[in-house]
A and B are shown apart, each in its own frame.
Chain A
Amino acid sequence: EDQVTQSPEALRLQEGESSSLNCSYTVSGLRGLFWYRQDPGKGPEFLFTLYSAGEEKEKERLKATLTKKESFLHITAPKPEDSATYLCAGEYNFNKFYFGSGTKLNVKP
Chain B
Amino acid sequence: DAGITQSPRHKVTETGTPVTLRCHQTENHRYMYWYRQDPGHGLRLIHYSYGVKDTDKGEVSDGYSVSRSKTEDFLLTLESATSSQTSVYFCAIRDGRDTGELFFGEGSRLTVL
Contacts and interface: CB of A to CB of B under 8 A. Distances in A.
A99 B42 contact: yes
Interface of B: 31, 33, 35, 40-45, 48, 50, 56, 58, 90, 92, 94, 98-99, 101-107
Contact of A97 (B40, B45, B103): B45
A102 B102 contact: no
Given A87-B42, A101-B41, A43 B98 contact: no
Contact of B45 (A49, A87, A96): A96
Given A36-B104, A44-B104, A99-B44, 20 more contacts: A32-B99, A34-B102, A41-B106, A42-B107, A43-B105, A43-B107, A44-B43, A44-B90, A44-B102, A45-B104, A49-B101, A51-B99, A87-B43, A96-B45, A96-B58, A97-B33, A99-B35, A100-B42, A101-B40, A101-B42
Contacts, number: 53
B90 A43 contact: yes
Nearest to A35: B101
